[in-house]
Amino acid sequence: MLILKPKFEFDVSVEAELTPELAEKSLEEIKNFKVWYGNAEKTLGELFDVEKEGDGKKLLLDGDFSKVKWVGTGMDDGEIVIKGNIGANCGAYMKGGRITIEGSADDWLGAEMKDGEIIVKGNAKNLIGCAYYGNPSGMQGGKILIEGNAGNYIGEKMTGGTIEIKGNAGDFIGTEMKGGEIIIHGNCGYAGGDMKAGTIKIGGEFDLLPTFRKSENGWTGDVLVGGEGRILKI
Amino acid sequence: MLWIKNGIVIDPKNKIDGEKMDIFIKDGKIVDESEVNKDECRVIDANNKLVVAGGVEMHAHIAGSKINVGRTMRPEEMRIVRHTANKLRASIGRVLLTSPAIGYEYAKIGYTTAVEAASPPIGSPHTHEELDAIPIVDKAMLPVFGNWHFVFKYVAEKDREKLKAFIAWAIERTKGYGVKVVNPGGVEAWMYGGNVKNLEDEVPNWGVTPKEIITELVKSNEELDLPHSVHLHCNNLGNPGNYQTTIETMKLVSGLANEKRQTLHVTHVQFNAYAGSSWRDVASGAEEIAKVVNSMDNITIDMGQAIFGHATAMTGDAPFQFTLHKLTGSRWVNKDSEIEGGAGIVPIAYLPKNPVHALQWAIGLELGLLVDSDKVVLTTDYPNGGPFTEYPYVMAMLMSRKMREKELERVSPYVQKATSLPAIEVEKTLYDVIQMTRSLPARVMGMENKGHLGIGADADVAIYSINPDDVDPAAQYELINSEFRKPVYTIKGGEIVVKDGAVVAESWGRTFWVDARKKVSLDSIDEDLNSFFNSYYTIQRKNYGIQEEWLRNPVRVEVN
Ligand SMILES: [Zn+2]
């Protein structure tokens, strides 16, 4: 296990593509791992206290990581535990393994993820499981669980996997969704715009577009794009 | 001064095929041995290496309205970092490269000249600003004429003298190099939601036909004796059955002759070489087209080769782009329809297993293989067919049947029944592909000092780690494919810009433009221009166009 603690409070964002494999490297290699601090290239050791306990594929991020972006990007195995908040793009392109965030997550959590699991004990912001601008598909597999609330544009263009939000979510849920499942236990705004397939389950209140028609146990649409997506009340 | 020693030279224009010789460079030109003081020369040891002229790109979309909108609408393209700024400028892009990346990537494959093949005239100041932002390569741009109201007017009035005057005026104002024509009449029809289907269809409101527009523009271009011929993107592009339109179009110029060059260049013919009647029975019409091109001595074409992977369709042919958008469901932007052109942009990725994409890939190769090497230029119609950075792949494919057989294994079997590619035995030689990438495109463009290594030529040279005496391209296609990607040297205007495949220095090329004003009476169209500008243009006539001094490094080519 690798334990990282910020050495100081970051003024600008840090771009650090930290994945659990890093824990398998030597301490020196880890300290020399390149990250960006604003527009300056730095080493991990310059920004973080680095401590190693054994070679297990696990990262423990201890402290305020809310300005640290791209943690767990593309990871395919192992575990990351974040004791505090985490910055944007956490778990983007993830292919396996697990990320547990004890605080809250920023935007683009699990964007375009293919497999694996992300658990957030606090809240998450916008664009969870989304496609990056210009790309055709968002989240394709895996699971994201948010214990608190989430923001807007959840699961845009997702084709597979599950996003579950225990609290409330914002507007534009499952826009252009093509598969997979979004479960929101609380309230949310408009859901399913231009949705082609997949399922959105909502426990609380939500706004329904006029382009959905009533079906057996919910609504089907978006008819505007000939969609067969389902919105269900739970 | 440079002394390239003991290289093995292939220079088709000067009929040199693999001769061991020395090349001398002074003041940006190739010179005779007697012109240099050998003691002062920097010596480049080219022993056992292939020495050729710098590549000439005669049809790509590298600046101006379309590629810029493409970059805006495709943020995903901009995530590929080619290199971060250090000595050179930062450059990014997957297929839609940023301006610095375009210059660097051309130089990195040994190309030193590139022509932007379609610019809306009113947008020419912007096109030139972007060309000026492309390092290293020499440049030129072709303004589009085929849907310009002045052209319709003079064609309808059958007033060729005025049409010639207008062409000379327009090329000077846009600092253009020649006459580009895109789907003549069709783009105008698009402004009313339509298109023209064949050469005899009338253009709405003008009473002229594509046939008349093409014929009059070609005859005017020939009477003006511009360095380049009319550069035509045919009607009916991208539609099954269109190979017949292409052949009919080519036959419009039979009987015309020009001893220096072709009288019509038909561009990205792959997109205009489809047989069949629908996308269900579409097949290749390349063989028929190749027969016609080979039988006429005043036609040249370029391939428009499709490359598997990411591309972006962008052309002044707005109605076709709308069709493509409907066909693929991909994003679409329509542009310039309110001005003298019209354009559309649609992202696309060519997939080997997709029957239509595989067919397009195969047709490009058929054209490259079946047309004589002094009549077909290697292009991808960047970024329509794919990135120009893949030219080494196309060169290797043209030279090796074995490589084609290997590639055929991974493409849709539809190609087997719809094209002749699997049966084609032709294997082009190094001499052929050097011709198709150097001497021929230079001749097609009328750029006398480009594409060869004779005395007086521009000192644009590429040196590759390929020994023509030793290599068998048919068998060693992997070597061809990899070595043409990393020249040992690219020399631009006598300056070493690339070494061992990496850009080592940034230079700034020139922009060539053609001035034919002396051959016409500009007064004859003065009143027409004033009245059009007063009635229809959003800017004053005196503010229209671009001054020579606004260009970074202009070269005026005067036609007398
Ligand atoms: Zn083109």
CA of B60 to the centre of ligand 1 (A): 6
Chain B residues inside the 8 Å CB shell of A132 = 75-76, 79
Give yes or no for B75 touching A (CB within 8 A): yes
Task: Tell me whether the omega of the peptide bond preceding residue B12 falls within 30 degrees of 0, making it cis.
Answer: no
Give yes or no for A40 touching B (CB within 8 A): no
Give yes or no for A135 touching B (CB within 8 A): yes
> What type of residue is A226?
G
CA of B385 to the centre of ligand 1 (A): 9
Chain B residues inside the 8 Å CB shell of A74 = none
First to last CA, chain A: 40
Check residue B107 and give left, alpha or beta (phi > 0: left; psi -120 to 50: alpha): alpha
Flag residues of chain B having pLDDT under 50. Answer: none
Beta strands in A27-161 (DSSP E): 34-37, 40-43, 48-52, 58-61, 68-69, 79-82, 98-101, 117-120, 143-146
Give yes or no for B77 touching A (CB within 8 A): yes
Interchain pair A132, B76: CB under 8 A: yes
Give yes or no for A41 touching B (CB within 8 A): no
Interchain pair B77, A134: CB under 8 A: yes
Strands A34-37 and A79-82: unpaired
Closest residue in B to A41 (Cα–Cα): B84
CA-based nearest distance B91→chain A, Å:
16
Chain A residues inside the 8 Å CB shell of B79 = 132
CA-based nearest distance A136→chain B, Å:
10
Mutate to test the interface with A, among B71, B73, B74, B76 (most CBs of A within 10 A): B76
CA-based nearest distance B330→chain A, Å:
10
Give yes or no for B90 touching A (CB within 8 A): no
d(CA B474, CA B471): 9
Question: Per-block average pLDDT, block size 10, for chain A (234 residues)?
Answer: 97 97 95 96 97 93 97 97 98 98 98 98 98 95 98 98 98 97 98 97 96 94 96 95
Closest residue in A to B73 (Cα–Cα): A134
Closest residue in B to A40 (Cα–Cα): B84
Give yes or no for A134 touching B (CB within 8 A): yes
Chain B residues inside the 8 Å CB shell of A108 = none
d(CA B51, CA B31): 16
CA of B266 to the centre of ligand 1 (A): 11
Q: Are A149 and A122 in contact (CB under 8 A)?
A: no
d(CA A31, CA B358): 48
Interchain pair B74, A134: CB under 8 A: yes
Give yes or no for B302 touching A (CB within 8 A): no
C-alpha Rg value of chain A to the nearest Å: 19
Instruction: Tally A–B CB contacts below 8 A.
Output: 11
Q: What is the pLDDT of residues B441-492, one digit of tens each?
A: 999 999 999 999 999 999 999 999 999 999 999 999 999 999 999 999 999 9
Chain B residues inside the 8 Å CB shell of A134 = 73-77
Strands A40-43 and A34-37: antiparallel
pLDDT of residue A120: 98
CA-based nearest distance B77→chain A, Å:
8
d(CA B228, CA B264): 9
d(CA B147, CA B366): 31
Give yes or no for B93 touching A (CB within 8 A): no
pLDDT of residue B327: 87
Q: Are A40 and A20 in contact (CB under 8 A)?
A: no
Strands A40-43 and A98-101: unpaired
Q: Which residues are within 8 A (CB) of B496 and not within 5 positions of it... i.e. 6 or more apart? A: B2, B489, B490, B504, B505
pLDDT of residue B18: 97
Beta strands in B129-189 (DSSP E): 138-143, 180-182
Token code pair at residue B117: 């093949």
CA-based nearest distance B96→chain A, Å:
13
Interchain pair B77, A133: CB under 8 A: no
Q: What is the pLDDT of residues A45-86, one digit of tens each?
A: 999 999 999 889 999 999 999 999 999 999 999 999 999 999
pLDDT of residue B328: 87
pLDDT of residue A192: 96
- The helix/strand/coil state of B167 is helix
Q: Which residues are within 8 A (CB) of B320 and not within 5 positions of it... i.e. 6 or more apart? A: B183, B195, B237, B238, B239, B344
DSSP sequence for B212-280: HHHHHHHHHHHHHT-SS-EEEE-TTTTSTTTHHHHHHHHHTTTT---SSS-SEEE--GGGG-EESSSTT
Interchain pair A133, B79: CB under 8 A: no
Look at the pTM and tell me if it is higher than 0.95: no
CA distances from residue A19 to A24, A78, B44, B244 in whole angstroms, order as listed? 10, 8, 47, 58
- The helix/strand/coil state of A202 is strand
Interchain pair A132, B79: CB under 8 A: yes
Closest residue in B to A131 (Cα–Cα): B76
Interchain pair B74, A135: CB under 8 A: no
* Other C-beta atoms lying within 10 Å of the C-beta of residue B239: 21
The partner residues of B45 in beta bridges, in order of sequence, read B5
Q: Are A187 and A204 in contact (CB under 8 A)?
A: yes
Token code pair at residue B378: 């290697």
Domain boundaries, chain A: 61-233
Closest residue in B to A225 (Cα–Cα): B329
CA-based nearest distance A122→chain B, Å:
31
Chain A residues inside the 8 Å CB shell of B73 = 134
CA of B355 to the centre of ligand 1 (A): 23
Give yes or no for A32 touching B (CB within 8 A): no
> What type of residue is B71?
R
Give yes or no for B76 touching A (CB within 8 A): yes
Phi, psi of A35 (to 5 degrees): -135, 165
Task: Tell me whether the omega of the peptide bond preceding residue B470 falls within 30 degrees of 0, making it cis.
Answer: no
